[in-house]
Amino acid sequence: MKYTCPHCGEKTFNPIQKALCGSYRGMGKPCPNCGKRCCNGMTGIYFQSVVSVIAFIAVIWIYLHATENIHSSIEIACIIAGTFVLNFIFNMFFGKLVEPIRTMK
């Protein structure tokens, strides 16, 4: 399974490389074929927003229901790590590669 570069139209990104390109707000990664930078499109941003809201609610819930501070901080760390993993997996399999909005300085 390969993803198409928005610049040269070649299928140059595998799912892991695509996920490593990061979000639409980021700098992206260069295409192995044409060297122009690519990043994940807006769908990744929408997904990230939804996951962040759910994670935020979960953290608040744990905070309010926590009886042992050490235990709840581990749970909160797991939720934060989990949101990163979810976003990474989403970028691996969903959405498409686009040109980054930011340009190299």
Name the site residues for Zn ion (rule: CB under 5 A). Answer: 5, 7-8, 31, 33-34
Assign residue 28 a region (left: φ > 0; alpha: ψ between -120 and 50; beta: otherwise).
Answer: left
In the complex, minimum distance from the CB of residue 20 to Zn ion, in angstroms, rounded to a whole number: 15
Asked if residues 34 and 8 have their Cβ atoms less than 8 Å apart, the reply is yes
Q: Are strands 11-13 and 3-4 parallel, antiparallel or unpaired?
A: antiparallel
Q: Residue 30 Cβ, how far from Zn ion at the closest point, in Å?
A: 8
89 — phi, psi (to 5°)?
-65, -40
Residue whose CB is less far from Zn ion, 7 or 18: 7
Q: Which is nearer to Zn ion, 13 or 24 (CB)?
A: 13
Smallest distance from the beta carbon of 71 to Zn ion, in angstroms?
A: 48
Burial class (CB in 10 A: 0-12, 13-18, 19+), 32: exposed
**Residue number with CB closer to Zn ion (31 or 79):** 31
Q: How far is the CB of 102 from Zn ion (least distance, A)?
A: 18
- Smaller CB distance to Zn ion: residue 16 or 60? 16
